[in-house]
Amino acid sequence: MLIDSLLSSLINIVTFYTISFPERYPMWFNYSSNMVYLILYNFMGVLFLLYVDSKTKIGSIKKVMLLIGAAVIIYDAFMIVTTPFTKWIIYYDENGRYCHGSMMNSLYVTAFICVAIAITIFIAKRKMFNHYQVLSIMFFAIGVFFAILFQIHHRSHVISNFVCTMVLFFIHTAFENQAYYLHGDTLCYNRRAFIKTIDQYRYRKENYLMAIIKIDDFENIKHSLGRMGVDDLSERIAERICREFGKSAYYVDLNCFAVIKIVANTHQLREQIKECFTTSFILEIGDDEVILDLEPVISFINVHGENVEGYEMTTIIQNTANRYSDSDYTIQESDELIKPIRREKEVLRLIDNAIKNDGFMVYYQPILDIRSRTFTCSEALIRLKDEKMGFVGPEEFIPIAEKNGRIHDIGDYVFRTVCRFIKENDVLSKGVNYIEINLSPEQCNRMELANQLIGVATEFGVDFRQINLEITETAEMKSYGMESVNELITNLHSKGVTFSLDDFGSGFAAIDYLIKLPVDIVKIDKGILWQAMNDEASMKILKNTIRMIKEVGKKIVVEGIETKEMADILIANGCDYLQGYLFSKPLPPDAYIEFISGKWEEVMITY
């Protein structure tokens, strides 16, 4: 745009002469100078449109934008190039005077359309930009608009080029400012520069070697230095790395620095990086002087540039090693590292699709009540099937949904589906007392969960006693969620909902949970059972765990029963319920209804 603006301004000076004194020059020169000027001048609108498109990066409309741009360019060029013959745009009359043709204003209209579309897109995406950037674009739109209006009425005042150049200057400082790409105090390239560089390499299809540098034991250092200290330390490290590697170095994050080289000797690069850490770092924290000797953790990635986007790279480097180990010496391939990230993106897309288009199913796995030898309850388990990717298991997609905030929608879907299922099939009359529903820890931390569940159950007219909620122990819950889970349980208990503590023994604080959470049932994790079938010590632990849980007065479910031997041991040790493939896999709703309506008796005979 700047080049276009500069050229059109220069040629504008020439046209000033060819318009004022046409008799001095040959006619072909009069025409061509004006035509070149008009082409350059009118392309500004298209360039602006493409510029805004490249900044807002809305992939889905990229093609349309290019099409609009091409159409305008073809139209303008055609009208201008043919004007010596058609006189549509400009012409010199019989007296040799410069005149505007009948279609002149259509050029303004096309330029105006481009600018209007660009501004609309920009406004829709304004949240991506800072105030200064928004201001510069608005300034461009308003400035150019009024300048053109002014010039249509006062042809001799050639100001629109001047205004255009002025506002372009603003846009330039707002968007292309180098300062955006430098870290304030260290003047190293920052995270934004890092992402942009990766994208540029991708565009150029260039391969390169990337060294990721982190600090060993950073979490501990962070704890002992505090927020300010750690910022300071990070800057010192960045400074050293930048001094050593100059423009190849990036300060990506607090504990993450990168060096990008097109050609490199890894051994030499490693030595160079280590060199940056040979002398101690001396920090002043308050009145104290802290001396730190740091060990860099270096990971090398061979990047197949064409395949990796800037943002994806930030995820890849997040996943690289945090602790020093010998495997440090292997060079990883970016194509391998990107696979799980792509897969996760793809699965997230499936999840979103399924949320929108009702793409989930709930299956039910019957649970055997040992006392009555009937299947008095079951566990609801979600399923996701995609035409292209086939079956995606909850072990894979539930953690992704949790990480990306989709678990609440999924939880709501499962709860509704189960409530509808209970009501429509009157499962109680078929001997099913309750259905167990899995809750994710993320769901439990939401204050409104209890009310939401109560609302849905009431809406479907489901007796609360027909619902059992399974909660899982996790590290996060231990640190901040115990209180709120306790409240949730107490609140819903009063309505008649019962609770199970899921995956008992596989996690973090099993005993602590058992003491602190007033659950009704404890579900022993299948991993514990399977381990116990393999070695004697684990079997002792399993048996004593069962005894302990019984002594504190909770019911026990064991999941993952695959053989008769497992079932016999558990029954002999006093478990209350058994769940596993030995009896039934999770079944789709129809098959489950068939199962509880009598088919189960065939199963029991074989067992």
Q: Which residues in this chain contact ligand C2E in the complex, by CB under 6 A?
A: 365, 380-382, 393-395, 398, 414, 438, 440, 502-503, 526, 559-562, 579-581, 586
Q: Min. distance of Cβ 416 from ligand C2E in angstroms?
A: 11
CB 254 within 8 A of CB 237: no
Pairing assessment for the beta strands 521-524 and 498-504 based on DSSP bridges: parallel
CB 381 within 8 A of CB 364: yes
Q: Min. distance of Cβ 502 from ligand C2E in angstroms?
A: 5
Among Ca ion, ligand C2E, none, partner that 234 touches (CB below 5 to 8 angstroms by kind)? none
Name which of 4 and 473 has its Cβ closer to ligand C2E. 473
Q: How far apart are CA 331 and CA 322, in angstroms?
A: 16
SS3 278: coil
Among ligand C2E, Ca ion, none, partner that 414 touches (CB below 5 to 8 angstroms by kind)? ligand C2E
SS3 462: coil
Q: Min. distance of Cβ 440 from ligand C2E in angstroms?
A: 4
Name which of 4 and 559 has its Cβ closer to ligand C2E. 559
Q: Is 468 in the site for Ca ion (CB under 5 A)?
A: no
Q: Min. distance of Cβ 512 from ligand C2E in angstroms?
A: 20
CB 272 within 8 A of CB 243: no
Q: Min. distance of Cβ 503 from ligand C2E in angstroms?
A: 6
Three-state SS string over 11-66 comes to HHHHHHHHHHCHHHCCHHHHHHHHHHHHHHHHHHHHHHHHHHHHHHCCHHHHHHHH
Task: List the structure tokens of 318.
Answer: 């997040």
Q: Min. distance of Cβ 586 from ligand C2E in angstroms?
A: 5
Name which of 73 and 437 has its Cβ closer to ligand C2E. 437
Query: First vs last Cα of the chain: how many Å apart?
Result: 79
Query: Per CB under 5 A, which of residues 523..542 are in contact with Ca ion?
Result: 525
Q: Min. distance of Cβ 414 from ligand C2E in angstroms?
A: 4
Among ligand C2E, Ca ion, none, partner that 574 touches (CB below 5 to 8 angstroms by kind)? none
Name which of 187 and 370 has its Cβ closer to ligand C2E. 370
Identity of the amino acid at 417: T
Q: Is 503 in the site for Ca ion (CB under 5 A)?
A: yes
Among Ca ion, ligand C2E, none, partner that 520 touches (CB below 5 to 8 angstroms by kind)? none
Among ligand C2E, Ca ion, none, partner that 312 touches (CB below 5 to 8 angstroms by kind)? none
Q: Min. distance of Cβ 466 from ligand C2E in angstroms?
A: 16
Query: Per CB under 5 A, which of residues 473..502 are in contact with Ca ion?
Result: 502
**φ and ψ of 38, to 5 deg:** -65, -40
Among Ca ion, ligand C2E, none, partner that 382 touches (CB below 5 to 8 angstroms by kind)? ligand C2E
Name which of 68 and 528 has its Cβ closer to Ca ion. 528
Q: Min. distance of Cβ 142 from Ca ion in angstroms?
A: 60
Long-range contacts of 132-137 (CB under 8 A, 24+ apart): 132/174, 133/174, 133/175, 135/170, 135/174, 136/167, 136/170, 136/171, 136/173, 136/174, 136/175, 137/52, 137/171, 137/174
Among Ca ion, ligand C2E, none, partner that 440 touches (CB below 5 to 8 angstroms by kind)? ligand C2E
Name which of 83 and 438 has its Cβ closer to ligand C2E. 438
- Closest by alpha carbon to 143, among 115, 113, 107? 115
Question: Which DSSP string do the residues of 407-428 spell out, in sequence order?
Answer: HHHHHHHHHHHHHHHHHHHTGG
Q: Min. distance of Cβ 134 from Ca ion in angstroms?
A: 49
Widest pairwise Cα distance in the chain: 115
Among ligand C2E, Ca ion, none, partner that 212 touches (CB below 5 to 8 angstroms by kind)? none
- Closest by alpha carbon to 208, among 318, 325, 304, 322? 304
- Closest by alpha carbon to 234, among 272, 192, 283? 283
Among Ca ion, ligand C2E, none, partner that 395 touches (CB below 5 to 8 angstroms by kind)? ligand C2E
Q: How far apart are CA 377 and CA 556, in angstroms?
A: 13
Q: How far apart are CA 191 and CA 256, in angstroms?
A: 10
Query: Per CB under 5 A, which of residues 434..453 are in contact with Ca ion?
Result: 438
Q: Which one of 15-23, 42-50, 469-477, 543-551 is the stretch in contact with Ca ion (CB under 5 A)?
A: 469-477
Name which of 414 and 467 has its Cβ closer to ligand C2E. 414
Q: Min. distance of Cβ 411 from ligand C2E in angstroms?
A: 6
Among ligand C2E, Ca ion, none, partner that 560 touches (CB below 5 to 8 angstroms by kind)? ligand C2E
CB 238 within 8 A of CB 186: yes
State the residues that interact with Ca ion by CB under 5 A: 438, 470, 502-503, 525
